Amino acid sequence: MHQKTQLQAETIRLISGTNTRKCMKCGKCTASCPAFAEMDISPHKFVSMVEHGEIDKLMASKSIWKCMSCFACVERCPRGVEPASIIEAVRQTVIRKQNNNYLRPENIPELLDPKIPQQALVSAFRKYSK
């Protein structure tokens, strides 16, 4: 593997605290994912693509914004791999870059409705920007 991709993959493993080698490729994560319909890269592929160092593709993926952190994949994985933690690590890697926020304060007014709870705003900012 190329040195850069190797480093990227290692970073994802560190941030997520997961061991992608434990995956036995059963696909229970993808079977459980409630956001699957909106994802371009499915949860099980996140695991194998980290294993193969394809981090750039993952960083460009739509899936990282669709994961709802519901932990269904984490709960049901028979090997304790935690795909949601990997997706989070990729998302963090993207938004930690300068000027790379997915959600910006100026987008907020158009999203607001009178019922929206603080919790939604705070969590969206935590997930989508730095």
**For binding to other proteins (CB under 8 A), which residues are involved?**
14-17, 22, 24-38, 42, 44-45, 65-72, 74-80, 84-85, 88-89, 92, 102-103, 111, 113, 115-124, 126-128
Token match 């969206």: residue? 124
Are 59 and 88 in contact, with CB atoms under 8 Å apart? Answer: no
**Contacts with 89 (C-beta within 8 Å, 6 or more apart), sequence order:** 11, 12, 13, 15, 16
Minimum CB distance to other proteins smaller for 7 or for 14: 14
d(C-alpha 21, C-alpha 24), whole Å: 8
Are 46 and 83 in contact, with CB atoms under 8 Å apart? Answer: yes
Query: Minimal distance in Å, beta carbon 24 to other proteins?
Result: 6
